[in-house]
Amino acid sequence: IGDELEGKPSRFHALMMFTKVDRSLSLQEKFQVAMRSMAKHGRFLEDEMLVLHYVSDAGSQELGSKMLPELLLDATFKYEVVFHEVDTLTEKLFPIVEAMQKHFSAGSGAYYSDAIFFLSVAMHRIMPAELKRIVQLDLDLKFRSNIRDLFQEFNHFPSEAVIGIAREMQPVYRHTFWQYRKENPKSRVGDPPPDGLPGFNSGVMLLNLDAMRRSTLYNQLLEPERVAHLAEKYHFRGHLGDQDFFTMIGMEHRELFHPLSCGWNRQLCTWWREHGYGDVFQLYYHCDGPVHIYHGNCNTPIPDD
Ligand code: UDP
Ligand code: MN
C-alpha cells in the first residue's frame, strides 16, 4: 500500500468474470487462450506481482483453481489468485444498479441475477478502499503485448477521467441512437471515428477506483433519476449492461473517459456487417496501429498470428 500511495504500484490487479465456465467447453477454451497468452507476454519487475481476480460460482472456481497453475506455467512474473463469490457481489451490487438495469438489460424486468453485468459501474463501492485501480478483462481475449503496458495507461488519465476504455468497433450504437440521430442530424452521437462518437466496448477496461470514488459527477450519474433523464434524452434502450451505461454517459460527459487506442481491444465480431450496416461497417471496424489484445467477441475465432 505504501508503494501505491507513492503512485508506483507493486501489485497490479486484473479481474475477470468467470461464471458457468465448468459447464461450457467454449468458455474453457477461451480461458486457456487468454491466460496462456497473458503468461507468455507478461513481464514485470522483480518486486511486482500480478493479482488475478475471478468472479465465480463454486463449480467454476474449482475448475479455475485446477487449471490456472498449468496455464501460467510459463509466467516469468509472480502472481496471486483471488476468487470472489458471484452471489456475494451480486447482493452488494443489486441495490446500486437495480434502477439502471431496465434501461440496459435484455427483457423488461430488472432481474436480480443481471446485476453482475454492471459490476464495473459500481466496483468502487463494492471493493475495499485499499484497492485503488483495477483492470477488468473479458475471457475471450488473446494478448500479444505485455499486460503491464496496459496498466501504464492509468498514468495518462486526464484529471477528470475515471475509466479507460476503447471504442466499440461495430455500428451497434449507430443503431441504438437511431431516433436521437434522426432528431439531431448534426450530432456526432453514433458516428464513426475519428470525428464521431461510436460508443464504448467493455471487453478491456481500466477502472480508476480511487477516481471513481472521488468524482462527484460520476456518482451523481449513478442516481436513478439521472440515468432515467439521460435514457429519455437519448431514447436509449440497450441490452449490453455496463458498456451501454458507459456509452450513454460518455455522450454527455466525455471527460470521464480516457480513450484507449483500438489496439488494446481489437474486437473481431462482424455481426452488424450482415445486419443492415454493410455500407458503413468498415468505418467502425477499421483499426490502425499495433494490436496488443485481440477480442474474439460474439464467438469470433482469433487469428493465430
Ligand atoms: N462470462 C462468464 N460466463 C458466461 C458468459 C460470460 O463468465 O457464461 C464472462 C466472460 O468473462 C466473458 C464476459 O462475461 O468474456 C462477456 O461475455 P462475452 O465475452 O461472451 O461477450 P461478447 O464480448 O461476445 O459481447
Ligand atoms: Mn468478450
Strands (E) across 38-86 are located at 49-56, 78-85
- For residue 261, the CA-to-ligand 1 centroid distance in Å is 22
Question: In terms of Cα–Cα distance, which of 75, 56, 69, 120 is closest to 93?
Answer: 120
Residues 197-242: tens digit of each pLDDT: 999 999 999 999 999 999 999 999 999 999 999 999 999 999 999 9
How high is the pLDDT of residue 3?
A: 52
Type of residue numbered 245? F
Q: How large is the ipTM?
A: 0.99
Query: Would you say 298 and 271 are in contact if contact means Cβ atoms under 8 Å apart?
Result: yes
How high is the pLDDT of residue 7?
A: 52
- Of all ligands present, the nearest one to the C-alpha of 269 is 1
Query: Would you say 11 and 4 are in contact if contact means Cβ atoms under 8 Å apart?
Result: yes
Burial class (CB in 10 A: 0-12, 13-18, 19+), 283: middle
The ranges of the chain with pLDDT < 50 are: 1-2, 5-6
Residue 24 Cα: closest atom of ligand 1: 8
Question: Best of 38, 83, 136, 140 to mutate for ligand 1, by most ligand atoms within 8 A of CB?
Answer: 140
Measure the CA–CA gap between 68 and 49, rounded to whole angstroms: 16
- For residue 296, the CA-to-ligand 2 centroid distance in Å is 6
How high is the pLDDT of residue 305?
A: 82
CB distance 197 to ligand 1 below 6 Å: no
- Taking each helix axis from N to C terminus, what angle separates 242-252 and 86-104, rounded to the nearest 10 degrees? 50
